[in-house]
Structure 1
Amino acid sequence: MGQFQTRNQKATTEAETAEAGDAPVVVQRSSASLTFRRLARDPASVIAFVFIIALVAFAVGAPLVEAWTGHGPIEQYRETALSPVGLPVGPNAEFLLGGDQLGRDVLVRIAYGARVSLLVGVLASLLAATIGVTVGMLAGYFGGWVDVVLGRLMDLVMSVPFLLCALALVSVFGPSLPLSVSVIVFFSWTTIGRVIRAETTSLARREFVQASRSLGAGHGYILLRDILPNLALTIIIYTTMLIPNAIVFEATLSYLGMGIVPPTPSWGGMLAEAGANSIYLVAWWLVVFPGLALLASTLAFNILGDGLRDALDPSARGRAVLRKKKKTKG
């Protein structure tokens, strides 16, 4: 009987060896590679990603734009950028996007304004995500009175009026870039904090967390090694989606005079200056170009965030489509 099994195993091994040349080769790909492949299949996400890269290059290369045009962001060219009657000139060969009411180059100011928007958007989003993830993980993991205290803290922050708080802080400390970032972080971290709290509460009941506890693992080890890696998907998605909100917040503060201090260029400040004395009625480019830059950048980050969510978790998109079909049939 043993010899028969040995011969069968040998024959099977020989047959598998003979057919090995015809067998398909399975290539194992990493999760990052699969994510990029899925993302590359979404044309909208690819276009948004390319636009964001171009926007970053445009912002970083703002000094090159200044050198190419020969115009500074705060320098006034009253003889060439203003008409004989004192009105700003429209787009032309020297001022590609026209001049403003003070004789400054709109193109150069938009380039430097992009630096401010991206700096505030990325920095505020990272800080807000860090605070929100930390608070959410602690509340969801420990539960009990810790969850009650941190949950009420999030409710308190969300109940504070954004504009009134910003106005009060500006009246005390004066408008500045650090203050703008601080205000945006203060009102943004609760968005991701609530989501992380709910997911951490669910993960804390899983078998692998219970196994780590039974083996004597400390709370810090469990939070950083067991729970945090399972929250990476949510953190990446919500951090990406916080960036356009931060950009809009910064533009709103600058528009209301509570953000970047003039004459430093910012998109919100440029829109506010265009609205002063209704100058936009005779100089449409003062509103259109900064407005398009603000709209396109926020839209691109939102589209990329949606595409990244679908690429990292393709089942979520399938569930959403299935729910939509059920609603349609119902």
Structure 2
Amino acid sequence: MTPRTALIAARNSADVQLKGSWRLTFERLRRDPASIASVVVILLIVLFAICAPLIAAATGHGPTEQFRETGLSPEGMPMPPSAEFLLGTDQLGRDILVRLAYGAQVSLLVGVVASIAASLIGVTVGVVSGFVGGVTDTVLSRITDLVMSVPFLLCAIALVSVLGPSLGLSIAVIVFFSWTGLARVIRGQVVALRHREFVEAARSLGSSKWSIMFRDIVPNLVVPIIVYTTLMIPSAIVFEATLSFLGLGIVPPTPSWGNMLADAANGSIYLVAWWMVVVPGTALLALTLSFNLLGDGLRDALDPSSRSGRPAAKGARK
């Protein structure tokens, strides 16, 4: 078999396996109740975020609008859930339900955008480092180690003190600290693949390094890329909530689940207005837990051999 024939056969085989693996992945996910439940929760929260303007229009309450007369008690305290304010109000008389919906937009935007950007950087660094090797590998590996050694909160505080808090800065900080783990995983996978037969066949045909890396090797790394990207989303959401809680993320009065929790903690008002911490806290827990369960489900569905110690599903031996 000539190198060209071997390369074509390898690529065709990879395409067939990839198409078949997606069908098997879908079937395995359908048999996993936790994954199905997590997908349902994620879709509901996405729909909730998309419908934020409709919710605001239906209630007649804007996300930053204060209702000093109807939204606060005679003592000036937040109102509990009622027919007018379904999830209660905060210390300024703002509708928690409307702010929760707009806060979901921020969390999903930051989580998805930051995770995709971090994945692109991590995959690129990992593939180049593992495939090229030598000085390039050493330099990129040391840069990765350096980024991993930088304290997250210290760097965030320093940047915010100079540039001021903003959504773009929050995403940039999260991306900066999120790509390193995936880069290390991808590098190890590439080191194991760079001397395989299909890579040698591509080299013998004169394919460029970039073509081999991103046309031949990256398609074989779909499983770890998808799984790690999915698992990075909840981490990014928690990072954003942490930054906003500390006053380093989304600038008030723009609603964010993090600054909603910060409002509840301000003056320990949550002791008399439990809904101010329970509502955003539950939403944050549900979203991050769902993405984590989905990531675990995708890992098991895409790579059944990763189910260490788990009994095989019915029909798996057929």
TM-score normalised by the chain length of structure 2? 0.91
Larger radius of gyration: 1
The unaligned stretches of length 5 or more in structure 1 are 1-28, 324-330
1:224 aligns with 2:214: yes
Inter-CA distance 215–58: structure 2 relative to 1 (3 Å threshold): same
Equivalent position of 2:299 in the other structure: 309
Aligned residue for 2:83, secondary structure, equals coil
Equivalent position of 1:162 in the other structure: 152
Structure 1 position 70, deviation (Å): 1.2
Structure 1 position 278, deviation (Å): 1.0
Equivalent position of 2:92 in the other structure: 102
Question: Of residues 256, 280, 287 in structure 2, which corresponds to 1:266?
Answer: 256
In structure 1, give the amino acid aligned to 2:52.
Answer: A
Paired-residue identity, %: 67
Question: Of residues 126, 133, 150 in structure 2, which corresponds to 1:143?
Answer: 133
In structure 2, give the amino acid aligned to 1:49.
Answer: V
The within-5 A match list for 1:1-330 is: 30-317=20-307, 320-321=308-309
Structure 1 position 191, deviation (Å): 1.2
In structure 2, give the amino acid aligned to 1:321.
Answer: G
Cα distance in 1, alignment partners of residues 145 and 21 from structure 2: 36
Structure 1 position 257, deviation (Å): 0.2
Structure 1 position 215, deviation (Å): 2.0
Structure 1 position 31, deviation (Å): 2.5
Cα distance in 2, alignment partners of residues 305 and 224 from structure 1: 24
May I ask how many residue pairs the two structures share in their alignment? 293
Structure 1 position 210, deviation (Å): 1.3
Cα distance in 1, alignment partners of residues 84 and 185 from structure 2: 50
1:213-260 deviation digits (Å, cap 9, x = unpaired): 122211111112210100111111100000000000000000000000
Choose between structure 1 and 2 for higher RCO, CA contacts under 8 A separated by at least 6 residues: 2
In structure 1, give the amino acid aligned to 2:127.
Answer: M
Cα RMSD between the aligned structures? 1.1
Aligned residue for 1:30, secondary structure, equals helix
Cα distance in 2, alignment partners of residues 313 and 30 from structure 1: 13
Equivalent position of 1:11 in the other structure: none
Cα distance in 2, alignment partners of residues 136 and 250 from structure 1: 25
Equivalent position of 2:314 in the other structure: none
TM-score normalised by the chain length of structure 1? 0.87
Cα distance in 2, alignment partners of residues 246 and 144 from structure 1: 32
1:157-189 deviation digits (Å, cap 9, x = unpaired): 000000000000000000000000000000001
